[in-house]
């Protein structure tokens, strides 16, 4: 499932509780479109017609095959050790209001497997974890000093830079 979320600063929008945020594999911020893309958007006269002409890039069988392929990407024990160190650091680090859940740990591995598959590898390397980590952990981590904060972009980098790849 793909969902959109308005900025919390908009009237009538409230932050989701951690238990609900944890159910999303990743959070990816798109930001605003560049001026050329926005201009094209503004030129649309009938967006519904334009959307009707879109062609799918993958059908349901293809999506299921991709999901199976991601699940088949190998993860060696030393890489699992690395993910466990990341999770443990998030749980005990004083800069975090709360640590990554078991679901967050699984999401780190799933994201890393997908990243490896996208780069045509049948196994996960530490860089796969690191590249996927911001999207996986930013909506799961909060600063201890600002528990009401809205994300952990800096915290994701703090986590990655605080934990060695090799234990």
Helix (H, G, I), strand (E, B) or coil at 123: strand
Nearest of 144, 76, 153, 78 to residue 116 by alpha carbon: 76
What average pLDDT does range 113-120 have in this prediction? 96
CATH of 73-162, one of 3.50.4.10, 1.10.8.80, 3.30.365.10, 3.40.50.300: 1.10.8.80
- What is the rounded CA–CA span in Å between residue 139 and residue 21? 7
pLDDT score of 147: 55
What average pLDDT does range 154-158 have in this prediction? 82
pLDDT score of 139: 86
Task: Specify the residue for token string 């893309």.
Answer: 37
CB neighbour list of residue 81: distance below 8 Å, 6 or more residues apart: 167
DSSP code for 17: P
Q: What are phi and psi of 78, to 5 degrees?
A: -60, -30
Q: What are the structure tokens assigned to 56, written together? A: 């799918």
Question: Is the CB of residue 28 less than 8 Å from the CB of residue 3?
Answer: no
Question: Is the CB of residue 136 less than 8 Å from the CB of residue 159?
Answer: no
The pTM for the full model equals: 0.75
Question: What mean pLDDT, rounded, does the chain reach?
Answer: 86
How confident is the model over 24-67, as pLDDT tens digits?
A: 777 777 788 899 988 888 888 777 777 788 889 999 999 999 99
How confident is the model over 4-27, as pLDDT tens digits?
A: 777 767 776 777 777 777 777 777
Residue spans per domain, the chain: 73-162
Say if residue 152's pLDDT is above 80. Answer: no
Reported confidence tier of residue 95, pLDDT bands at 50, 70, 90: confident
Three-state SS annotation for 66-104: HHHHHHHCECCHHHHHHHHHHHHHHHHCCCECCCCCHHH
Q: Length of the chain, please?
A: 167
Whole-Å CA distances, 94 to 12, 19, 97, 109, 146: 32, 21, 8, 24, 12
DSSP code for 99: -
How confident is the model over 119-134, as pLDDT tens digits?
A: 999 999 999 999 999 9
Say if residue 118's pLDDT is above 90. Answer: yes
- Looking at the DSSP bridge assignments, the partners of residue 74 are 123
């Amino acid at each position: 499932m793909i969902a959109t979320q308005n900025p919390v600063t908009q009237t009538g929008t409230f932050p989701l509780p951690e238990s609900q945020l944890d159910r999303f594999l990743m959070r990816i911020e798109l930001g605003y479109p560049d001026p050329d893309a926005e201009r094209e958007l503004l030129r649309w006269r009938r967006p519904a017609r334009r959307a009707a002409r879109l062609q799918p890039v993958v059908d349901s069988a293809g999506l299921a095959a991709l999901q199976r392929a991601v699940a088949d990407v190998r993860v060696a024990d030393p890489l699992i050790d690395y993910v466990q160190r990341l999770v443990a650091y998030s749980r005990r680090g004083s800069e975090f209001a709360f640590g990554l859940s078991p679901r967050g740990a699984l999401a780190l591995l799933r994201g890393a497997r997908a990243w490896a598959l996208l780069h045509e590898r049948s196994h996960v390397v530490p860089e796969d974890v690191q590249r996927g980590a911001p999207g996986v952990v930013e909506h799961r981590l909060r600063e201890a000093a600002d528990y009401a904060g809205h994300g952990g972009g800096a915290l994701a980098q703090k986590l990655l830079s605080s934990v060695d790849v090799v234990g």
